[in-house]
Amino acid sequence: MTDTLPTLAILGGTGAEGSGLGFRWAHAGYPVILGSRSAERAQEGAAELNKLLGRDLVRGMDNLSAAKEAQIVIVTVPYSAQKPTISDVASALDGKILVDVTVPLVPPKVNRVQLPAEGSAVEAIQHMLGAGVKVVSAFQNVSAHHLKDLSHTVECDVLVAGDDIPSREIVIELANAVGLRGIHAGPLCNSVVAEALTSVLISINQRYKIPGAGIRITGLPGQD
């Protein structure tokens, strides 16, 4: 990456996960644009984050304008909205990295793994967009719950899957920049594990009455 941090657009950035990640990235110095179906809602979301940050660091725009302005586009919408949202901004994605956070949950039984027929939610998106967009899967296991509380260290590793290794590296930097730990998890098809794991974490949250179970990978270099 260059010395200048890339501009990040977060589609569906008015929601819990997108606004939480956006808050952390803005705090870490990244230019952040929240995207929404409504520019007004995006601006309101950005204003809320700027109030928390104490500085005007975040902008809000409609999803397409946000995707056009950014170098990296992050998708944080419900599974049912994933394909239409990405399809609406496809013209702005060529040559960019698209980070898909979507978990293919099927309400109401979100504590059950219910994977799509295509294999994983993110592979369907790479197939839809073609090789001109570097699709990377990440952050599905990071609960939104504590993201806006900077006094809280979010205890979760981020499995980063993608077929383009340099793009994976860039997304690992994004995870590391906010105190998470990004880990190479192999090609995009391996995203199926992170996507499925979220329902397991939701089951754990329900059983132990906690808001945000996470995951840790052991045995990496530098660990005891």
Ligand X SMILES: NC(=O)c1ccc[n+]([C@@H]2O[C@H](COP(=O)([O-])OP(=O)(O)OC[C@H]3O[C@@H](n4cnc5c(N)ncnc54)[C@H](OP(=O)(O)O)[C@@H]3O)[C@@H](O)[C@H]2O)c1
Q: Where does residue 184 fall: left (phi above 0), alpha (psi -120 to 50 degrees), or beta otherwise?
A: beta
Q: Which amino acid is at 39?
A: A
Between the alpha carbon of residue 6 and those of residues 1, 31, 62, 129, the distances in Å are 8, 7, 19, 21
Site for ligand X in 175-204 (CB under 6 A): 198
214 binds ligand X (CB under 6 A): no
Mapped onto helix, strand or coil, the DSSP state of residue 72 is strand
Q: Is 14 in the site for ligand X (CB under 6 A)?
A: yes
| Residue least distant from ligand X (Cβ) | 15
Contact with ligand X (CB under 6 A) among 46, 77, 86, 93: 77
Residue written as token pair 């990440």: 138
State how far the alpha carbon of 15 is from the alpha carbons of 1, 34, 82, 163, 190, in Å.
28, 10, 13, 28, 26
Question: Least distance (Å) from ligand X to the CB of residue 84?
Answer: 6
Size of the site for ligand X (CB under 6 A): 25
Of 32-40, 48-56, 125-133, 150-158: span binding ligand X (CB under 6 A)? 32-40
x-or-dash pattern for ligand X, window 132-151, by CB under 6 A?
A: --------x-xxx-------
Question: CA 28, CA 212: separation in Å to the nearest integer?
Answer: 22
Q: For residue 141, which phi and psi values (nearest 5 degrees)?
A: -100, 5
Among positions 8, 9, 15, 182, the unique one binding ligand X when judged by CB under 6 A: 15
40 membership: H or E segment, kind and range = helix 39-53
Smallest distance, ligand X to C-beta of residue 5, A: 23
The answer to whether 128 contacts ligand X (rule: CB under 6 A) is no
Strands 181-184 and 157-162: parallel
Closer to ligand X by Cβ: residue 38 or 91: 38
17 binds ligand X (CB under 6 A): yes
Residue with smaller CB distance to ligand X, 34 or 133: 34
Which residues sit at the interface with ligand X, rule CB under 6 A?
12, 14-18, 36-38, 41, 76-79, 81, 85, 101-103, 105, 140, 142-144, 198
